[in-house]
A and B are shown apart, each in its own frame.
Chain A
């Protein structure tokens, strides 16, 4: 049924609701910015490590060169190991212009030879004779970079090893690393900031089509349900289609409702007019017996009217249900049997036997139980009504049968009533068409059956029962189990 959406009760609630809704753009920006910042931080960390390593590599070369120059000048003088440190060695070190220099030369045979006596000359890494190693160590209140070398004396009459350590402070290294890092950090920060700004601008651009659709819908007159023709990007095409489809359905619903209301009003007007004529007639009649008779007629007419109204309500309920509720997997044996049981007593009072015949326990189709029940009720009521008309001598029976056929469950309601003429057979499914006005009924029963059947993709066929009567056959497509469903 068409109902107006509930309006937010006041503006405050509305704005609170708006504020508390998660923002698509906000989320996009936050996640994007977070990612960019993370990447930038990672890059900066890498640059820091890299620049430090780069500085160490460059300045270790300096240290190595100076140490080798010192090593070349280790010699022997009067049987003693000695060293004549070349000026060039320290000229090399002076390239690290502000760094303090410390060194120590010692030998296994003589111990301390020259340099800074208290400089710790133990190697920090596993010793390999003749190969240089570099490490950091504290001395004189600063962290120094050490170059360490120990080798065997090569002079013919010398024995043992000589060890040279040369160290300088890390000032130049840090300066170099800092200058490399600073540029890189500046660049990375700039790139990150620009990216975030672009992200903010971009998010605005990306969401603009949505705002356009929103604006278009907002600006429409209340009754305008025509499809959106707005040109929008591919990503919003689906949304547009869904909105259009939704509006189409709304339009169909509305039209149906309008039709229905018109027809119903029209259908109600005739019996009410006849009721009025009957009532006037009864008022004007003088004889009490005749008046009584007239009143009986009025009552009959009222009952017929009441039936019509309840049919109409039922149909409205079912058609709303068919519109709004998704179909599921159901068994139709159970509800059909239930309908028979429910109608059995009413039918029996009218002298009609209902019999339910089936060999199967279960018949699974895609459908709605309530609609099936309603359909069966209408069919059985109709059958009973038509059976009633036959002269009372014969045994009256209505058979409800479910037969499994390939891919189809056939449901038949077979009566032995007066039957329906071939002309009527073609029109009974029209709404408000009544085959015979001497039979009480609204004329909507079979049209509802048709609606329900077509909603279940079932075929409805009317045929004659021999010798007389009508058979209604509804073929429901059986649910085919394939792997995809579930």
Chain B
């Protein structure tokens, strides 16, 4: 039950600090579309700007929210949602919103064009892929081999005990929805490897973060040597800009998430929400994701020449299915047990 209590505490804390929206478009536009999203502004701004240029009669209020907070906010606002479109990388929480009846269906030419695996019940739609990667600061590996999968990361940790102590970072699965999703998928894909990794993290004082960008910041600054389970689009952008950073796509297996969108059941402006979703899925929106080096588009035929398409044919890609299986990870008992084990392994729990 402790994990649950932690969620609620968190939920109340973020409630008070609801971020003010960032505005796009004409101040005098007759209609307003509020979007609650977990996407960093740097990855999304060009898409928002393009949209308001195409539809000048819509003004967008964009609110950046953490994945878990976004879920609880949407649930609590079920009758009067502030946002008409919810974008999140936490697929499991998005799917749970749909399963539990918090969303409404939307159908258009664009959504019907979407592959069946990229949508569920016509209520949740994936608009971009997100490979899950590691990131290292090259300076720390001078003369050494960069780890290319989880096994080599483990052996690196074992060989450089003192060097890596307190200089690894990953998501805090208690505060980040997507962090929890990645951890639970790791545990599902390779339970033994995940256990050893967790043990290694715990014995070397891993640092936990709320967001990918914070971890990348710390890797870039040299405070961290390794960041584990980061979202690929952010990592690729930063690695392109910063010569010190190296993005590593694990060779043993690479998790592939989807960023998804849902429209809340009682959304104030479902028409414009649908229009924006159509824009994200349109050829223009998808192309923009590639050309502006923002995100990995969901429609594979547009993947041909990607800005940092790291996924060669030899990689084993484990795409997380957008279906009912995601509900298992969010089972109360399973979640509580998983977080408890995680806390124990990372020696974050005080009462044991």
Query: Which residues of A are in contact with B by a Cβ distance under 8 Å?
Result: 82-87, 89-91, 93-94, 97-102, 105, 113-116, 140-141
A160 to B59, CA, bound (A): 59
- CB contact list, B111-126 vs A, under 8 A: 116, 120-121
B99 within 8 A of A: yes
- Asked if B121 contacts A98 (CB within 8 A), the reply is yes
Closest to B117 in A: A97
Give bound CA distance, A85 to B184, whole Å: 13
Residues on B lying within 8 angstroms of A by beta carbon are 98-101, 116, 120-121, 188, 321, 323-325, 327-328, 331-334, 337
Residues B321 and A94 in contact, CB atoms below 8 Å apart: yes
Given known A-B contacts A84-B337, A98-B121, A115-B332, A90 and B101 have beta carbons under 8 A apart: no
A115 touches B331 (CB 8 A): yes
Q: Hey, which chain B residues are within 8 Å of A100, CB to CB?
A: 98-101, 121, 324
A114 touches B323 (CB 8 A): no
Task: Enumerate chain B residues within 8 angstroms of A94, measured Cβ to Cβ.
Answer: 321, 323-325
The answer, among B98, B116, B121, B327, for a CB contact under 8 Å with A90, is B327
Taking A90-B327, A101-B327 as contacts, is the C-beta distance between A82 and B100 under 8 angstroms? no
- Contact check: which of A97, A101, A114, A141 meets B101 at CB < 8 Å? A141
Q: Is the Cβ of A93 less than 8 Å from the Cβ of B324?
A: yes
Shortest CB-to-CB span from B332 to chain A, Å, is 4
With A101-B99, A140-B100, A140-B101 already in contact, the answer to whether A90 and B333 are too (CB < 8 A) is no
Q: Which residues of B contact A105 (CB under 8 A)?
A: 333
A-B complex: 8 closest residue pairs judged by Cβ atoms: A114-B333, A94-B323, A114-B332, A90-B325, A94-B324, A100-B99, A90-B328, A140-B101
A-B contact pairs, 5 of them (CB 8 A): A87-B325, A87-B328, A91-B325, A105-B333, A114-B332
Residue pair B99, A87 in contact (C-beta under 8 Å)? no
Query: How far apart sit A113 and B333, CA to CA, in the bound complex (Å)?
Result: 8
Which residue among B324, B325, B332 has the maximum number of chain A CB atoms within 10 Å of its CB?
B324
Decide if B324 touches A85 in the complex (CB within 8 Å): no
**Once bound together, how far apart are the Cα atoms of A435 and B174, in whole Å?**
144
Least Cβ–Cβ distance between B207 and chain A, in angstroms: 29
Q: How far is the CA of A82 from the CA of B144 in the complex (A)?
A: 47
Known: A87-B325, A100-B98. 14 other contacts (CB 8 A): A82-B333, A83-B333, A86-B328, A87-B188, A89-B328, A97-B116, A97-B323, A99-B324, A100-B99, A101-B327, A102-B99, A105-B333, A116-B100, A141-B101
A165 to B98, CA, bound (A): 20
Residues of A within 8 A of B331 (CB): 85, 114-115
Q: How far apart are the CA atoms of A44 and B26 in the complex, in Å?
A: 59
Q: Closest residue to A89 on the B side, CB-wise? A: B328
Nearest to A139 among chain B residues (CB) is B101
A114 to B327, CA, bound (A): 12
| Chain A residue nearest in CB terms to B326 | A90
Determine the distance from Cα of A98 to Cα of B122 in the docked complex, in whole angstroms: 9
Of all chain A residues, the one with the shortest Cβ separation from B335 is A114
Provide the residues of chain B in CB contact with A89, threshold 8 Å. 328
A98–B98 alpha-carbon span in the complex (Å): 11
Task: Tell me the bound Cα distance from A87 to B189 in angstroms.
Answer: 11
Chain B residues near A98 (CB-CB < 8 A): 120-121
Contacts of B333 in A (CB 8 A): 82-85, 105, 113-114
Nearest residue (CB) in B for A66 is B324
CA distance A140 to B98 in the complex (A): 12
Q: Which B residues are CB-close (under 8 A) to A83?
A: 333
A94 to B324 Cα, complex, angstroms: 6
Partner of A101, one of B116, B188, B324: B324
B100 touches A85 (CB 8 A): no
* Distance between B183 CB and nearest chain A CB, rounded to angstroms: 14
Residues on A with C-beta less than 8 A from B121 are 98, 100
Say yes or no: A85-B334 contact (C-beta < 8 A), given A140-B101, A141-B101: yes
